[in-house]
Structure 1
Amino acid sequence: MSASAGALRLPDEEALRDFVIAQRWFGSKSKEVAHFRLLETIPLTEQPLGLSVLEVEFLPGTHELYQLPIGARPEGDWTEGVICVNDAMAIYDAMGDPETARALLRLIATDTEIETANGVAQFCTVEGSTLPAEIGDVRPMGAEQSNSSIVIDEKLVLKAYRKLGAGPNPELEILRFLTERDFPHIAALRGWYGHSGRLIDATLGIVQDFLAGATDGWDLALADLREDPQRFVARARLLGEVTGRLHTTLGSESQDPAFAPEETSAEALGLLTATVDEEIERVFVDLPEADDPDAPDVLAPIRGRGQEVRDQLQRLTQVGSAGRVIRHHGDYHLGQVMLTADDDWVVLDFEGEPARTLVERRRKRSPLRDVAGMLRSFAYAATASELLHDAPAPEGWEDAVRSAYLDGYLEETDQSLLPPGRAGVERLLAVFELEKAVYELRYELDNRPEWVKIPVAGIARLLEPETTEPEA
């Protein structure tokens, strides 16, 4: 590459600070920042255009790394995402520049390596895939979140990971695994790019198929609740089947240590119990008191029942076999699945929970943790339909959707991954639902008081006698 990183007239620390802390992808706004600095810049084109690795150092000494594409154009020629102006040149976040996507795809299509000051940038295609070296239409995909996604010619999606972690991104690992096995319910992986060297070995981004005409599962559930609630019950059954096939495929490889299923240890279940127990205690101690004893209190179904919830957790985790642990989705809900124009469910976004480290996200867990996430998402859809669209879910809708989803899931899942019998499955599933609902309760109390009733109902459900002693 003949492009020079120096030609980018890289921004100084003050300019970086002002720009970065205002971005949605910067997730540590509450931390005290000591320094912003650019550690590495990978030249992409002679425009000039490059990929920078940004270090954000916090007090008292921790740090995070971010991907920040940087471009330079004459002042006035480019106004989007401008970081600063140096010598009449606008220096800007180039993720929104179509030339960035074009350059990255060109490099990936040709399996290019670029030596940098601190390592090597690698651009790779999936074996058997052919990417176009030249592309036409480029557009951003929706609102900027923790990552940046670009749609290319309505056929491909380039996802750039903003926050970087050491080691392979779990999404790259899982998509690669599933694509190699021709798993049909994903947007297949076509290529990726990353950096290896003394600073960091990290996945920077991936390229996968674009699902034209597909509908987000959350939007679909809310639309069905307004138009034909029963229609989504049938769709939930199909989604359960797809989830079961996903977990069966992820648990099918015994030779690869990164994916081979492992038996659940008593220590692992004990650690889970202790973690959830600690969160229960913290949340229930902090529950706000009812302001007016005569007013309706959304917390009434669970107020004063913290010990009861903890006792229930102990009973639920007194199981025999808890099945096996596998690589799983890790952040599974209706917003992570789409229904295609052919009425086929596709699973997206295998990164795991953004707040967790890559090491935590790559850890094998019970597949029922994914199932619990989706069940909680059904509960949210039932209430959100009323809150957002004044279209309350019909009585029994959530129970019908849960049952249909679980029926489909259990029919398609390798039973060796699960506790024996449906009662054993539902007992362990309740533990993960409780974990999720307690986390939701804290979040909603802090951010959306009008939504608090959703996790409250979930916790109250798990305290019902018939849930405590499932039938054999």
Structure 2
Amino acid sequence: KCQAAIQSWAELRGPAGERVGLLYDALCCRPFATALLAGIKTGAEWPTQRNGRFRLRPASALASYSLQELAALEPEALAVEQSNSSIAYARELILKCYRRLEPGEHPELELGWFLTERVRFEHVPALAGYIEYRSAQSAVWAIAVLHRYVCSRANAWSHTLASLSDYLRASCGSERADRGESGDPAPWRCAELLARSVREAMLLGVRVGQLHAALASARDDPAFRPEVFTDAEFRAWCVGLIGSIERAAELLAGRTELLPEADATADRLRQLARPAVERESARLAGTSLGRKSRCHGDLHLGQVLFTGEDFLVMDFEGEPARPLAERRAKCSVLKDVAGMVRSFDYAAAGALRQAA
């Protein structure tokens, strides 16, 4: 039943070279994908040979589906993920399976449960369930998370890139018309496209602000309660910032085949980084450093879905290469804002490259 969907496999052979089985990705197998969904719906527990168990649990967004309805949803393994594996169930649900596992509370499950079940925040895909593994020693690994499928026009990155490209084409057409050449002679088209992009950016800013307010609303929960930045935390952050800049300089040095001025730029980064950070650190010493709270942690336009009328923020797992403790740490919400501003800058540069 699974053979047509399996892209690759490995033969398992015994001591004498005899074939004893096949090793393949079961997510491509329809019966297995359907069994996962049924297990989440029923709250199944699957024991392992090492005295651990897989715990499958539903959330309220799955309550409206019967087992028969779930069994009828056709699963499709998606090939667009880079750090995870995903299964879409007939544009109703989507299951993300983590490929990088680490024991501890997973931020995507933790934040998804909080936003969906506790504060009922509407501008994220609703959490529908999850799968975790508990060892015999009670250590917990997040294995997969299930969300309601969001029918979107595109992610915000693709949409923004397309909008900017439309504006650049319209602008070039207007310039050609001014010179008496063929093109769109209507300057109002440029103004219309620009105004639409500004409105959408403002709406996106509102949604991100509402997300931050929702995450900071549980004053009775230590995991979500905002806290004051301490001087010690600020000093540690400055040290980490200097280290990040110096590592970036090391990566840049010697790459003259890609950037002729790479070595000179790397040297300048090394010379300026520490004095600049220490100068700003001294300037801010003794001042109010604001509060830290839970935030998205890896926010950019690619982490937002555009429905055509609104935006939904997704992918709360943080940067997969970083430890769970770091991804769950409270920080300034300006980290999310800076990530989004940088993403808009990338989109503008990308649109200009396409138009060149």
With structure 1 as the length reference, what TM-score do the two structures score?
0.61
- Would you say the 8 A contact 1:193–1:203 is kept in 2? yes
Separation of aligned partners in 2, 1:365 and 1:153: 37
- 1:106 deviates by 0.3
- 1:189 deviates by 0.3
Separation of aligned partners in 2, 1:361 and 1:291: 34
From 286, 294, 301, the equivalent of 1:334 is 301
- 1:90 deviates by 3.5
In the alignment, residue 111 of structure 1 is paired with which amino acid? G
Residues 185-264 of structure 1: pairs in structure 2 closer than 5 A: 185-198=123-136, 200-228=139-167, 230=194, 231-264=196-229
From 54, 57, 70, the equivalent of 1:121 is 54
- 1:96 deviates by 1.6
- 1:335 deviates by 0.6
Q: Which of the two has greater helix per residue?
A: 2
Residues 306-345 of structure 1: pairs in structure 2 closer than 5 A: 306-317=270-281, 318-319=283-284, 320-341=287-308, 343-345=309-311
Q: Please state if 1:107 is matched with 2:39.
A: yes
- Would you say the 8 A contact 2:245–2:269 is kept in 1? no
5+ residue gaps, structure 2 = 14-18, 168-192
Separation of aligned partners in 2, 1:93 and 1:187: 26
- Percent identity reads 36
Residues 15-34 of structure 1: pairs in structure 2 closer than 5 A: none
Residues 385-424 of structure 1: pairs in structure 2 closer than 5 A: 385-387=351-353, 389-390=354-355
For residues 120 and 227 of structure 1, do their structure 2 counterparts lie closer, same or farther at Cα, with a shift above 3 Å needed? Answer: same
Q: Please state if 1:367 is matched with 2:333.
A: yes
Partner SS, residue 268 of structure 2: coil
Partner SS, residue 235 of structure 1: helix
Structure with more relative contact order (C-alpha pairs < 8 Å, separation 6 or more):
2
- 1:265 deviates by 0.9
Partner of 1:273: 238
Separation of aligned partners in 1, 2:103 and 2:276: 38
- Would you say the 8 A contact 2:61–2:127 is kept in 1? no
Deviations 1:82-120 (A, max 9, x none): 122554754311112222221100001111122223222
Q: Please state if 1:347 is matched with 2:296.
A: no
In the alignment, residue 53 of structure 2 is paired with which amino acid? V
Deviations 1:158-190 (A, max 9, x none): 111111111121100001000021101100001
With structure 2 as the length reference, what TM-score do the two structures score?
0.80
Separation of aligned partners in 1, 2:252 and 2:59: 51
Deviations 1:227-276 (A, max 9, x none): 13623222111111111110111011111111111111111111110111
CA RMSD in angstroms, aligned pairs only? 2.7
For residues 275 and 213 of structure 1, do their structure 2 counterparts lie closer, same or farther at Cα, with a shift above 3 Å needed? Answer: closer
- 1:313 deviates by 2.4
- Would you say the 8 A contact 2:6–2:25 is kept in 1? no
Partner of 2:178: none
Count of aligned pairs: 314
For residues 164 and 283 of structure 1, do their structure 2 counterparts lie closer, same or farther at Cα, with a shift above 3 Å needed? Answer: closer
- Would you say the 8 A contact 1:135–1:152 is kept in 2? no
Partner of 2:111: 174
Partner of 1:52: none
Q: Which runs of 4+ in 1 moved over 4 A?
A: 76-79, 289-292, 295-303
Partner SS, residue 304 of structure 1: helix
